[in-house]
Structure 1
Amino acid sequence: MNNPKFSNFHEPPPTPKIPSHSHVSYGLRLSQMGFGGSPAGGVFGDQKEEETAQILSMALKAGINYIDTSPWYGNGRSEEVIGKALKSIPRKAYYIGTKVGRYEPNVEKMFDFSAERIAKSVDLSLQKLGLDYVDIIQVHDLEFAPSLDIIVNETLPALQKVVDQGKARYIGITCYPVSALKEVIERSKVKINCVLSYARNTLLNEDLKQYMDFFQSRGVGVINAASVAMGLLAQSPLLPEWHPAPEAIRAKVQEARNLCTKSGVDLGRLSVHYSLETPGIATHLMGNSSMEILNLNVSSVTTSLTEVEKKTIKEVKEMLSTIEKTHWEGDDVAKYWSQLKVARGEVPQDPSVKPFL
């Protein structure tokens, strides 16, 4: 495990590519850009193990030191592939977080926030990752629980036991509705160290900003994910079938994309830059489905916008601000419960309803 390339990874290099800073809540020196692990699970299309290893290695060399994954990403594949890629890298060279609560594509087995399942899930994640502990263990998409009472009274106490056992260092929660993150923090007797919010700090939707003062007042770190709204705000999007953005949003984003093409700039780069401007965020998770996208993300973080880009980002923001509803909050939850009733034979399948994945 004595790898000279990574032996002093957490010490600030003379000329860092990706800046890092200590977090006020729990002291982790997180890089401004984090490594999103969903592409490693094939969420955005097939990604070979060798490619994941190369991308992750290059990301670490670029100064990225936080890795995010989950059992949900490819039904455990992301953890397994990332675990293999990390075998040659010293444990002190990175921080890593995984999740509990969301698991299989089968709608009847997709979510389980019980204490019993959590204990098994953490052990399996550590096995796949080849680690003794993770730095952050998070509740995945808690809005899908039958009730937040389960999260507060069973899930979070179970995670505290995981921390007490030395299998994780800190506890986090994740979901799409930022209001639910706030509610759980207010109700929980277990200390929540961080929240992961996704697609709510973008050129399209900025709802996260309304909650930043609250999170900071509670000493809760904020991890921001999906600056390009899970590919929606990329210049050349290859949106997966499951992407929840409604047609009204997609159409307006395409107009913004056309504007960027005309101006000779990249919408994804503008989206990342816009997200980075929000103060107080510990790290910004970015998925890297190819080396090209990794290089684009690193460049977006480390280089300033040109005058043309600055002008275009204002035009794009103005264009997207005309959208009446800039989110899809509640849509996926409704689809999930509807599909679960179908799977249980309680109601017939409505062919007009798009399946929840």
Structure 2
Amino acid sequence: METSRLGRTAVEVTRLGFGGGPLGGLFAPLDDETAAGALTAAWDGGIRYYDTSPHYGIGHSERRIGEFLRSRPRDSFVLSTKVGRLLVPQDPAGRTDPAGFHVPATHRRVRDFTRDGIRRGVEDSLQRMGLDRIDVLYLHDAEEFFDDALRDGYPALAELRSEGIVGAIGAGMYDTDLLTTLVEETDVDVIMQSGRHTLLDHSALDTFLPACEKRGVSVIAASIFNSGLLAVPRPVAGAHFDYETATPEIVERANRIADVCEAHGVTLPQAAMAFPLRHPAVAGIAVGMRSAEEVRRNVESFAAEVPAQVWVDLRAAGLIGSTATRVV
């Protein structure tokens, strides 16, 4: 599978990455066997970039990904995880994790973007995964703690990079305005931008992606299906959009996009995967996957050729903005 380099670092990722959120039991329970099957299918499909976080299932995703990758040569894959949440053990008392992951509430999350908190987070993640290093480290969901993340978190990441403990640093967030500030005021290598550079949301194009292109910062586009709506050929009522139930208007718009795609023999998921990669700042996409069948379907969609006329017709129909593609 084709790879891209992150910023000015030596880290290279496959253009399709494995998003580890579902391995934490996001939306529905997930057993170890199914998770292992998804990871095996991803490897067999050529994916060599794996992203996870302590947040995903309060450590379940990191544990599962680490267990799988420990049997692979360490230089044959790229691993990213995130900092900003420490996991503190607690008595689950029969409760399920309140953050939307279907796992016992064995830990609680404590937000910490201090230098000590970030270094402890790295140590904890390495211990959970059983691996010797992390290739890419992101500040995670720092919107409500942005001043702390900018003042304390970024310098801590830069220190880890200078020490050779991590190869590339950045942030994983939704808010494109704050991410633009981070890109312009720091020396990050890569941003994992979630849900704002998709077929249904082009807001990353306003200031964020131009800033990344100007500063030489790479982007990993995440939540490209907007948490589910764009993951199927024909969205229906009740589908998820940005982790909530999609409005009828959003469902209708997605189906209008599907109409244009189908006229060119392309499915909605195929177009949704191809769209973010058209911008020169985007090094790859990270797609959350929870089963071998889902992985194989996504790998096949990723490999599909999307004719340039699709983007021309979508723009003509007013379904994507004039700045949303590099179509000439």
**TM, length-normalised to structure 1:** 0.73
| Deviation larger for 246-255 or 113-122 | 246-255
Question: Which of the two has greater strand per residue?
Answer: 2
Cα distance change on mapping 1:292 and 1:316 into 2, 3 Å: farther
Cα distance change on mapping 1:203 and 1:254 into 2, 3 Å: closer
Cα distance change on mapping 1:204 and 1:254 into 2, 3 Å: closer
What does the per-residue CA deviation read over 1:170-199, in whole Å, with 9 as the maximum and x for residues that have no partner?
2111211112111123333xx311111111
Superposition map of 1:87-102 within 5 A: 87-102=70-85
Unaligned runs of 5+ in 2: 88-96, 100-107, 322-328
Unaligned runs of 5+ in 1: 1-17, 323-357
Q: Is the 8 A contact 2:19 2:52 kept in 1?
A: yes
Cα distance change on mapping 1:306 and 1:137 into 2, 3 Å: closer
The residue aligned with 2:317 is: 318
SS at match of 2:135: strand
Superposition map of 1:1-357 within 5 A: 18-102=1-85, 109=109, 111-145=111-145, 148-188=146-186, 191-210=187-206, 211-235=208-232, 239=239, 243-244=243-244, 247=247, 249-253=249-253, 255-256=255-256, 259=259, 266-305=267-306, 314=313, 318=317, 320=319
Q: Is the 8 A contact 2:229 2:251 kept in 1?
A: no
Q: What is the RMSD of the two structures over their aligned residues, measured on CA atoms?
A: 3.1
SS at match of 1:217: helix
Q: Is the 8 A contact 1:139 1:172 kept in 2?
A: yes
Report how many aligned residue pairs link the two structures.
299
Cα distance change on mapping 1:170 and 1:249 into 2, 3 Å: farther
The residue aligned with 1:14 is: none
Q: Is the 8 A contact 2:6 2:217 kept in 1?
A: no
Q: Is the 8 A contact 2:227 2:241 kept in 1?
A: no
Cα distance change on mapping 1:110 and 1:245 into 2, 3 Å: farther
Q: Which amino acid aligns with 1:202?
A: T
Instruction: Give distance in 1, aligned partners of 2:40 and 2:20.
Output: 13
The residue aligned with 2:103 is: none
Cα distance change on mapping 1:234 and 1:242 into 2, 3 Å: closer
Q: Is the 8 A contact 1:233 1:253 kept in 2?
A: no
Cα distance change on mapping 1:27 and 1:252 into 2, 3 Å: same
Cα distance change on mapping 1:315 and 1:166 into 2, 3 Å: closer
Q: Is the 8 A contact 2:141 2:172 kept in 1?
A: yes
SS at match of 2:227: coil
Instruction: Give distance in 2, aligned partners of 1:71 and 1:317.
Output: 43
From the CA coordinates, give the structure whose radius of gyration is larger.
1
Aligned residues: percent identity? 29
C-alpha deviation, 1:303, in angstroms: 2.1
The residue aligned with 2:104 is: none
Cα distance change on mapping 1:277 and 1:40 into 2, 3 Å: same
C-alpha deviation, 1:66, in angstroms: 1.0
The residue aligned with 2:90 is: none
What does the per-residue CA deviation read over 1:102-144, in whole Å, with 9 as the maximum and x for residues that have no partner?
4675689453323332222111101111112100111001112
Q: Which amino acid aligns with 2:184?
A: E
Cα distance change on mapping 1:241 and 1:260 into 2, 3 Å: closer
Q: Which amino acid aligns with 1:82?
A: I
Q: Is the 8 A contact 1:44 1:240 kept in 2?
A: no
Q: Which amino acid aligns with 1:199?
A: G
**TM, length-normalised to structure 2:** 0.79
Q: Which amino acid aligns with 2:174?
A: Y
SS at match of 1:168: coil
Q: Which amino acid aligns with 1:223?
A: I
Cα distance change on mapping 1:111 and 1:239 into 2, 3 Å: farther
Instruction: Give distance in 1, aligned partners of 2:21 and 2:113.
Output: 20
Instruction: Give distance in 2, aligned partners of 1:241 and 1:203.
Output: 12
The residue aligned with 2:325 is: none
Q: Is the 8 A contact 1:196 1:224 kept in 2?
A: yes
SS at match of 2:80: strand
C-alpha deviation, 1:99, in angstroms: 0.2
